[in-house]
Amino acid sequence: MRHEMDDAHRRLLAERKMDLAIDQNPDGQAFTALQRLLMPTGQATPQANRFRSEFALFTPTNIRNSAYFEQDSSD
């Protein structure tokens, strides 16, 4: 079991050398932090901050096919 669904963990899951990856969506967390910093300056609106702090569990049967920095339609 590992944290975050990066390319190395995706490969290990596909090869069945790892059973579980817990992804806490660090990209969404970073986006939310930037939005909150920009809101007081008027460069972001409260509606832009729609990120929900959730996590996902990935196993060999539901790994995403895209690279870490690419969006996949199954996400």
> What are the pLDDT tens digits along the chain (75 aa)?
888 888 899 999 999 999 999 988 777 788 888 888 888 888 877 765 566 667 889 899 988 777 666 554 444
In a domain, residue 6? The reply is yes
Q: Exposure pattern of 15-53 as b/e (b: 16+ CB <10 Å)?
A: eeebeebebebeeeeeebeebeeeeeeeeeeeeeeeeee
Whether 9 maps to a domain, the answer reads yes
Range of the domain at 5: 1-29
Specify the pLDDT at position 49.
Answer: 54
d(CA 36, CA 69): 22
How many folded domains does the chain comprise? 1
pLDDT of residue 48: 55
Scan for tokens 């990120």, then name that residue.
51
Q: What does the pLDDT read at residue 35?
A: 84
